[in-house]
Structure 1
Amino acid sequence: MWIIAVNLLAVAGIIKGADWSYDFETQWPGVCTTGSQQSPINIMSRDAVVDRQEAHIKGPLAFRGYSNVNATGENNGHTVKWTLVDDEPMPILSGGPLRGNYSFIQFHIHWLSEHAIDGMKYPMEIHFVHVKTGLTVEEALKRPDGLAVVGVLCQVHSGVENEFALGELTPMLPSLFDRQSGPLPASIIDLTRLFSPNMQSFYTYHGSLTTPQCQEVVTWIVMDTPLIISDTQYKLFSKVDVGGIDNYRSLQPVNRVIYRSLASCASLTLPSSLGILAALVNLSSTMSGVVSKGICTIVNMKRKFWGNKTKECIKSD
């Protein structure tokens, strides 16, 4: 278990005492400043490739075993994260753009969001980190498909009805306000409460870890439907000491193909037959009114020429 814990710190690129800061990104070690496929990025929906032939996204994502996860919380100076305690059974992610199974090992939180969609940032982003099943983390960090990270964007709405999502985490936050605090005693967490309302609607691309050493070994799956959290819960994160008021990396050059799932295009479907019929009826009515008004105008010109009284031209409704 000790070896697993050390590896989990390595995969996040966050080791106690590591000499890096969000205020000095240009000084980050590893390939953070030299890599060609770095993360996070601004995802432009109009540029994303819709994979209708399932050449890259081969079917829906499958999440198994996420409802009861034994994890321990920690503030490591850069984020708050919850790490899997028991390595058997691990929650498993498969499907979508992934080739094979990926085992969940930890999740952590960024505020503001790291990714942007169509230029818009969100208040928060949750990252679920997975390692390719059968590999150690050290092995995974050397393979381009070694890791898979699911990013869930969060939107803030007021009201207690929006406190369900983070309801299991917020009682732990006061114990994680101080840097280097924790780990907390392990507890059972239902990770599905942290999922997007539509876990089949996503963008995916190949990128990197967003913390040093920024290894380019990550299949990113970014959900495009935000999770709703409460304003009261979000304010708690402003009290968490992570060395600054936020903990997100700057956006990196896109310079690669981004795919989007078919579910993410649902809002782009053609109008219904009834909608098309209504539009045609409205167009017909409009054209009829324009033609009627045009004829009336011509008649008035003739009446005026002959010195007769004109009548008011009113567009038909």
Structure 2
Amino acid sequence: MSAMSSNTIFLVAPLFIRDVSSQLEWSYSYQTQWPGACKTGKQQSPINIMSRQAVFDKEEGHIHGPLVLRGYRDVTVTSVNNGHTLRWDAVPDLVAPVMSGGPLSGNYTFMQFHLHWLSEHAIDGMKYPLEIHMVHMKTGLTVDEAVLRPDGLAVIGVMCEIYSKNEESEHALEEIMPAVPGLIDPQARMAEPTSIDLTRLLSPDPQSYYTYHGSLTTPLCQEAVTWIVMDKPITISDDQYQEITKADVGGRDNYRSLQPVNRVVYRSLASCSSIIAPSLIGTLFAIVHCLSSTFGAGVNKGICLIGNFKRRLFGDSVKQCAKL
């Protein structure tokens, strides 16, 4: 990425997020009154992701290889309470983290991350106490262009579960917590820039995720987002959660209600391998589970394959299983 394109991204991206929050009067308490695509859109976010209905993209028609994350270990950010969330913005004019691969076509430049409590997405009907959103914009686009394109933005969603205070549970949020006491009041000034390791905020296995096309979860809810919702949560401490949720964001919480799914949700190869049991039979059942989410005939073939496995063990002839 050239110096010019990097400057363009950072000069406009943080302003875009601030303008949306400051110019529009909206509240999480009156979501039915949100304007724009929030009312009229057909592919809105967040959604309840059902793991058994997610499509395993074994042909890589939608997920093209591994997700690539470059430059996330040393990122200079400033923090702010914008009245709706606690947000950490990338500092303009500095080298930006870039995401590519997976379901994405091209490079996406990191803009900011922010927090929602409770989580906005649900997985198999379960909500988490906190969800982190890492917002990226397609490199080379202006903000006006990005929000009008279905592939203009990409957002990583990371779930957080709470454990008692210890070194492990405090590791993920350790670098951002010093700024939180100064963010309780939305009228507080933006904090001084600080350097953090964004990889701490990512799932333990960033290659294990669900992905779908959807929208921003705040007005104007433009349907310009490729969502990458990681399926393995990070751990945070109860003390950290209590401190974060003291922040004045206009109410007790700051999450949008679940929206109709009405579209395909894909799952990565790693998300399938994560359910594999230690035994060989368990592995076969796990593979069948992933294949059956893609094709209705997968279960029958899986049963056939497992039967053949048993037949081979006892020296019997195997059956011909239908091709997927």
Question: What TM-score comes out, normalization by structure 2 length?
Answer: 0.81
1:138, distance to aligned residue in structure 2 (A): 1.5
Is 1:206 paired with 2:209?
Answer: no
State whether residues 9 and 139 of structure 2, in contact with CA within 8 Å, keep that contact through their aligned partners in structure 1. Answer: no
CA change 1:6–1:64 in 2 (3 A) is closer
CA change 1:163–1:271 in 2 (3 A) is closer
Is 1:16 paired with 2:22?
Answer: yes
Structure 2 counterparts to residues 215-226 of structure 1, below 5 A = 215-226=222-233
CA change 1:190–1:271 in 2 (3 A) is closer
Q: Which residue of 2 aligns with 1:75?
A: 81
> Which amino acid is the alignment partner of residue 175 of structure 1?
G
Work out which of the residue numbers 119, 124, 135 in structure 2 matches 1:118: 124
Q: Which residue of 1 aligns with 2:269?
A: 262
Q: Which residue of 1 aligns with 2:194?
A: 187
Work out which of the residue numbers 98, 110, 113 in structure 2 matches 1:107: 113
1:4, distance to aligned residue in structure 2 (A): 4.4
CA change 1:274–1:251 in 2 (3 A) is closer
Q: Which residue of 2 aligns with 1:149?
A: 155
State whether residues 73 and 83 of structure 1, in contact with CA within 8 Å, keep that contact through their aligned partners in structure 2. Answer: yes
State whether residues 204 and 219 of structure 1, in contact with CA within 8 Å, keep that contact through their aligned partners in structure 2. Answer: yes
State whether residues 157 and 230 of structure 1, in contact with CA within 8 Å, keep that contact through their aligned partners in structure 2. Answer: yes
State whether residues 51 and 57 of structure 1, in contact with CA within 8 Å, keep that contact through their aligned partners in structure 2. Answer: yes
Runs of 4+ deviating beyond 3 Å: 1-7, 11-14, 267-271, 273-276
State whether residues 10 and 92 of structure 2, in contact with CA within 8 Å, keep that contact through their aligned partners in structure 1. Answer: no
Q: Which residue of 1 aligns with 2:100?
A: 94
Is 1:60 paired with 2:66?
Answer: yes
1:118, distance to aligned residue in structure 2 (A): 0.2
1:87, distance to aligned residue in structure 2 (A): 3.4
In structure 1, C-alpha distance between the alignment counterparts of 2:139 and 2:78, rounded to whole Å: 21
Q: Which residue of 2 aligns with 1:314?
A: none
SS in 1 for 2:113: strand
State whether residues 122 and 153 of structure 1, in contact with CA within 8 Å, keep that contact through their aligned partners in structure 2. Answer: yes
Work out which of the residue numbers 15, 36, 45 in structure 2 matches 1:39: 45
How many aligned residue pairs are there? Answer: 276
State whether residues 101 and 132 of structure 1, in contact with CA within 8 Å, keep that contact through their aligned partners in structure 2. Answer: yes
Calculate the aligned-residue CA RMSD, in Å.
1.9
> Which amino acid is the alignment partner of residue 265 of structure 2?
I
Work out which of the residue numbers 149, 169, 173 in structure 1 matches 2:176: 169
1:63, distance to aligned residue in structure 2 (A): 0.5
In structure 1, C-alpha distance between the alignment counterparts of 2:244 and 2:65, rounded to whole Å: 36
1:266, distance to aligned residue in structure 2 (A): 1.5
1:10, distance to aligned residue in structure 2 (A): 2.7
Q: Mind listing any 5+ residue stretches in structure 1 that lack a counterpart?
A: 277-317
CA change 1:18–1:28 in 2 (3 A) is same
CA change 1:244–1:270 in 2 (3 A) is closer
State whether residues 204 and 258 of structure 1, in contact with CA within 8 Å, keep that contact through their aligned partners in structure 2. Answer: yes
Q: Which residue of 2 aligns with 1:285?
A: none
CA change 1:223–1:107 in 2 (3 A) is same
1:274, distance to aligned residue in structure 2 (A): 8.2
In structure 1, C-alpha distance between the alignment counterparts of 2:95 and 2:275, rounded to whole Å: 39
